[in-house]
Amino acid sequence: MIDTSEVLITHEQIQEMLDRLAAELNRDYAGRPLVVVGILTGAFIFCSDLVRRLEMPVIVDFMQVSSYVGEISTGNLKIKKDMSYDIAGKDVLIVEDIIDTGRTLALLKEQLLKRGPASLKICTAFDKPDRRVTELVPDYNGITIPDKFIVGYGLDLDGEYRNYDDIRVVKQE
Ligand code: IMP
Ligand code: MG
């Protein structure tokens, strides 16, 4: 049985987090056009909430990626959907739902840097640093959470619970 009754982060705390992150981004990129790349599917809500608070000229695009660990390699990236915009020479911000081991974003960052952006930064809604196996540190972090599996606000368990407007902890019995 799956129990999602425990609220870890309320809707109000999420709004405060969005306001804080947008203020940081509006300060750091003031007057500079920004290409925002949301990572599907988990970041679709965070990305849409965040871009509506941004004041610089913004282009929004999306990618869908997954990482897997092979037998001999440390990790591979599978691009299921690439963005359609050419980021060469542009300021780019990757918008992710949550960083766990950091494998996905470490590999994605490596790939995107080959496309020659002027700058490439990472903004995550949630961060689970206890589980990190890479050096990856987000440039912008919403809320740091303990080593628990969370759902809601775009995050899923087998595709479910993305529609919750707060963050819940998953308990499986
Ligand atoms: P990483 O490569 O281990 O950092 O993987 C991060 C990805 O795993 C995220 O983009 C999520 O799709 C997924 N993920 C990690 N932790 C959670 C969680 O607590 N809830 C839902 N998805 C998670
Ligand atoms: Mg994801």
pLDDT (tens digit per residue) in 9-54: 999 999 999 999 999 999 999 999 999 999 999 999 999 999 999 9
The pLDDT value recorded for residue 68 is 78
Angstrom distance (rounded) from CA 34 to CA 43: 17
| Domains of the chain listed by start with CATH number | 2-172 (3.40.50.2020)
Asked about 19 being catalytic, the answer comes back as no
Ligand 1 probe mutation, 64, 148, 155, most atoms within 8 A of CB: 155
pLDDT in tens, 43-90: 999 999 999 999 999 999 999 998 877 666 667 899 999 999 999 999
In percent, how much of the chain has pLDDT > 70?
97
- Count of beta carbons in the 10 Å neighbourhood of residue 154: 25
CA of 71 to the centre of ligand 2 (A): 23
**49 half-sphere exposure, CB direction, 13 A CA radius:** 22
Contact (Cβ atoms closer than 8 angstroms) between residue 89 and residue 117: yes
Pocket of ligand 1 (CB under 6 A): 42, 67, 96-104, 149-151, 155
Instruction: In the chain, count H helices and then E strands.
Output: 3, 9
Angstrom distance (rounded) from CA 138 to CA 121: 8
Of ligand 1's atoms, which has the minimum distance to the CA of residue 131?
3
pLDDT in tens, 94-128: 999 999 999 999 999 999 999 999 999 999 999 99
